[in-house]
Structures are given as C-alpha cells and as structure tokens.
Chain A
Amino acid sequence: DAGVTQSPTHLIKTRGQQVTLRCSPKSGHDTVSWYQQALGQGPQFIFQYYEEEERQRGNFPDRFSGHQFPNYSSELNVNALLLGDSALYLCASSWGQNSNQPQHFGDGTRLSIL
C-alpha cells in the first residue's frame, strides 16, 4: 500500500524561473493539499484539490497554481520564482473533502532558489 509520493526530492532553480512539483496520493485517497514549510516554521497551507478543482486556498499569490488529474495525482506550479520561495513543499492526501480523517504527508520536495 503505497503512501504519498512526491517528485523530485530536490530541485534547484534561479529567480524568475518556473517549477512544477508532482504528487501521487496514498491509495484510496481522493483529496490533495499542498503546504509550504520554510526553515524553522510549520507547514503553511497553499491550496486543496478535490474532484479536479481547487476547493480551498491559503494566503498565497496567484504565482502558485495547481492541477489535479483524474487519477487524483496533483501538480503544484510556481511561476516567476523568488528567493523567498525556497522551502520544503509538502503534499498531503486524505479521503473526502471534509471528512474528519487525518491527512497523510509525503516526504516533500526541497526547492532551492539561487
């Protein structure tokens, strides 16, 4: 039973570039959320995808966008990268949009902006 998988594990980009991060949810899960974790801080909610639509969004600019595919996997896209976008990006999955089930996290993608 595969858990949440994310790719790539590490990525280095320069300012102004664009990046795409990928996530496959845990088997049986249909909801994917993305979080940004800066150094020394807790994860911050970016957005949630359910039934291929963005359902909830945190306090992040439009440079952050996403997509969910029919197989429930998801992508996070960040345009016009800034130095402050350097962080660990975590994907979390769960079953159902509003079920009281804990989210399961992947190991994250470490994004470094030079």
Chain B
Amino acid sequence: DQQVKQNSPSLSVQEGRISILNCDYTNSMFDYFLWYKKYPAEGPTFLISISSIKDKNEDGRFTVFLNKSAKHLSLHIVPSQPGDSAVYFCAASLPYNNNDMRFGAGTRLTVKP
C-alpha cells in the first residue's frame, strides 16, 4: 500500500530554468511533509519541509507547495543548477509520529548545463 507516490521517475531541465517535482499522497491524516535529496553513495539529505497548516514554504531557491484538498505537494527549484542533479524523495508522516516517514519512490532530476 503505497501512500506516497511520485509518478515521474525522471525529469530533465535546462540550467537556469524551473524544476517542478510532484508528489501525491493518499492518507489525509498526514500532517508533515518533507523533501530529501540523494546523491549516489550518500544518504538522503533533508531539503525542505512543510506542515499541513501551511500551503507554502520557501527556502532560497527551493519552495514547497501543499494542496491538501488535492493531496498533492510539489517542489519548485528556481533557478535550477547542475549541482541540483540528484534523486529527490517526497516523504510524509502522521501526527506525533514523524520518525515513521512514508517515502515516495523518488524522481531523478537532471539539470543540463
């Protein structure tokens, strides 16, 4: 039962353009959402998070949008840089249980110079 889905296994964008990574979830009880970035041979690195009481959170070039009614969140990277090339995982957790995260399968982002 995959409660968090990333339907695009890969995405390719040009340097300087916007990258938009999408994530859908099925459990309306999730209240905390995170994005992690993973380089080969390294563990996932926390990127940005959002609580269900918000619909947007911004940190530099990274912005996460949450649409609770559609059970959808997205990560926007503007402008995209070649160093952003990595696998991006969306994750979600239930109230008072944020150490049990449910992950999507990941989207491989390639930013071309």
Contacts and interface: CB of A to CB of B under 8 A. Distances in A.
Interface of A: 4, 31, 33, 35, 40-45, 48, 50, 56, 58, 90, 92, 94, 97-108
Interface string B80-113: 0000000001010000111111111110000000
Contacts of A35: 103
B100 A42 contact: no
A105 B98 contact: no
Nearest to B32: A100
Interface string B53-80: 0000000000000000000000000000
- Chain B: interface secondary structure? strand
Given A4-B43, A105-B45, A100 B105 contact: no
A43 B105 contact: no
Contact of A103 (B96, B101, B102, B105): B101
Nearest to A59: B1
